[in-house]
Amino acid sequence: MDVLTLLAALADLPARLAVMERTAVEQSRKLDAVLRALPPSLVSVQQSAVTLGISVPTVRRWVKSGRVPSLRIGRSIRVDLSRFDVAGADETRALASSARVPSATRVRSIERTPGKKSSAE
């Protein structure tokens, strides 16, 4: 490399540095937006129920059984959503299909109490 090539490269450095600084600021803003959109990792039982789409009593049962990672702070319970293992789409489908019973094998029985008519009649 000759001296002129080096001088040209050095002269180009401030422009390249400015582009890199702008890119870094833009990426930092995007990261901040993503972090603001994420739920906090320690949330109340009520907030975790809404986030997980389950009832508050279910969250409390899961906390008591240890199924949900939680932390007791004073008298309040905080659920750690960052450590919660959520079933993936494949696991959810497998669980749903194993829970289904083909309609041909279902048996519907109507209990009849003497003197009362069932809604099917």
Identify whether residues 34 and 44 lie together within a single domain: no
Structural domain total, the chain: 2
DSSP per-residue string spanning 89-100: HHHHHHHHHHH-
Identify whether residues 34 and 46 lie together within a single domain: no
Identify whether residues 59 and 75 lie together within a single domain: yes
- Taking 3-state DSSP, the helix, strand and coil percentages for the chain, each rounded to the nearest 5, stand at 60, 10, 30
105 within domain boundaries? no
23 within domain boundaries? yes
Position with higher pLDDT, 76 vs 114: 76
Identify whether residues 76 and 60 lie together within a single domain: yes
19 within domain boundaries? yes
Identify whether residues 49 and 84 lie together within a single domain: yes
Identify whether residues 45 and 83 lie together within a single domain: yes
Q: Which pLDDT score is estimated for 85?
A: 64
Q: How confident is the model at residue 108 (pLDDT cuts 50, 70, 90)?
A: very low
Identify whether residues 7 and 50 lie together within a single domain: no
In whole angstroms, give the CA distance from residue 68 to residue 22.
42
Structure-token match 């901040």, residue found: 32
The pLDDT > 90 percentage for the chain reads: 27
Q: What is the mean predicted confidence (pLDDT) over 72-81? A: 88
1 within domain boundaries? yes
| Structural domain harbouring 85 | 40-98
Q: How confident is the model at residue 115 (pLDDT cuts 50, 70, 90)?
A: low
113 within domain boundaries? no
In the structure encoding, which two tokens stand for residue 94, read together?
């497998």
Identify whether residues 21 and 49 lie together within a single domain: no
Identify whether residues 10 and 60 lie together within a single domain: no
Identify whether residues 28 and 73 lie together within a single domain: no
CB 67 within 8 A of CB 85: no
Count, residues in the chain: 121
CB 42 within 8 A of CB 79: yes
Mean pLDDT computed over every residue of the chain: 78
In whole angstroms, give the CA distance from residue 86 to residue 48.
12
